[in-house]
Amino acid sequence: MTSLSRRSPGKTAKIPSTGLSRRQQLQRQRAGYVWRTLWHSGLSLGILTGLVMVIRQPLWYLTAPSQIQIQGQTLLTAADVQSKLTLSFPLTLWQVEPQAVKAALITDPPGLIQAVHLQRQILPPSLTVWIEERRLLAQATVNHVWGGIDGQGQWIPLADYPHLQHHPGIPKLQVVGWEYLSPSQWAQFLPLLAGSGIPIQTIEATPTQGVLLQTDLGRVHLGSLTSERLPEQLQALANMKNLGEYCQCQPQDIQRIDLTSPTRPTLELTPAAMARRGAAPPLPSAGLP
């Protein structure tokens, strides 16, 4: 008779691992991964929705030109700059494109504005436009259009800003015949002429006689400008500051001061002055009064 084996009452039978328990572990892992993915997606969607809602709030909008501040200008007014902006209100701060603003303000041919920088402010919402103007050295009218000449010798049309004709920041020096010299020549010679010791009211460039100056001493003929000769001519002109005492004449008596040869300047008087005193005296060399 075969005896039946009995389990000991205090011992538990061991169940070996099977393929079923392995599948259960994989299912639990997949379920955990899905929940984590859903949680991350929901969180990201919530953050994105919140950002969109915040951006769409009125606090981020520009609704009027008064929210745009213009800074850095010395000649132009804020209204001058605002009139050139092509912004349609309302719009968000992020819809303002810097390149579009720069293209509207920096024109070709060159305008008075040479550089533009933008600064956004969130609270309260505003936009600051910083501009840099060209520095003008003289006024000039070209083809019946009033304008100015900057340090690069470029002519800048100013007809759109008639109020600048009486602005104290516009130089009094007048240039006639800007087109007869190149911008590079004006850039080289104009600072020297504007900074000479003798006040110059007008610089006239001509196609045949070169450059003529209208000064406190009278009309001065420089001829063709060269970088080597111009400093000598200006020094000779500065040495003539007491010319009226020397020749006993007034500026209106002087027909022309010829400085085409700065070491041998000559003086031409008007016919009326010549009649009063006979022959015109020769001027001393440039090194003398």
**101-119 residue pLDDT tens:** 999 999 877 899 999 999 9
Last residue of a domain, one of 133, 149, 177: 133
The confidence band for 2, taking pLDDT boundaries of 50, 70 and 90, is very low
Cα-based distances in Å from 101 to 21, 98, 115, 165, 272: 68, 5, 11, 27, 60
Q: Is the pTM of this model over 0.85?
A: no
Asked whether residue 177 falls in the same domain as residue 262, the answer is yes
From 8-22, 69-83, 261-275, the region with the lowest mean pLDDT: 8-22
Asked whether residue 119 falls in the same domain as residue 142, the answer is no
Asked whether residue 143 falls in the same domain as residue 183, the answer is yes
SS3 state of residue 238:
helix
Asked whether residue 262 falls in the same domain as residue 143, the answer is yes
Considering the chain, what is the average pLDDT of its residues? 83
The confidence band for 5, taking pLDDT boundaries of 50, 70 and 90, is very low
d(CA 178, CA 16): 103
**15-30 residue pLDDT tens:** 455 555 777 777 777 7
The confidence band for 55, taking pLDDT boundaries of 50, 70 and 90, is low
Asked whether residue 147 falls in the same domain as residue 188, the answer is yes
* Contacts (Cβ under 8 Å, ≥6 apart) of 156: 110, 111, 112, 134, 136, 147, 148, 149, 150
Percent of the chain with pLDDT over 70: 83
Task: Establish if 237 belongs to a structural domain.
Answer: yes
DSSP H or E segment with residue 114:
strand 113-121
Residue position matching structure tokens 């969130």: 122
Q: Within 13 Å of residue 164, how many CA atoms lie on the same side as its CB?
A: 22
Task: Establish if 119 belongs to a structural domain.
Answer: yes
From 84-98, 190-204, 220-234, 271-285, the region with the lowest mean pLDDT: 271-285
Task: Establish if 187 belongs to a structural domain.
Answer: yes
* Number of Cβ within a 10 Å radius of residue 255: 18
The pLDDT of residue 194 is above 90: no
d(CA 287, CA 242): 13
- Residue 110 DSSP class: T
pLDDT average, residue stretch 224-248: 87
Asked whether residue 203 falls in the same domain as residue 172, the answer is yes
Cα-based distances in Å from 126 to 66, 197, 243, 260: 9, 48, 60, 58
What's the pLDDT score for residue 241? 82
Range of the domain at 259: 136-277
The confidence band for 4, taking pLDDT boundaries of 50, 70 and 90, is very low
Residue position matching structure tokens 């919140």: 50
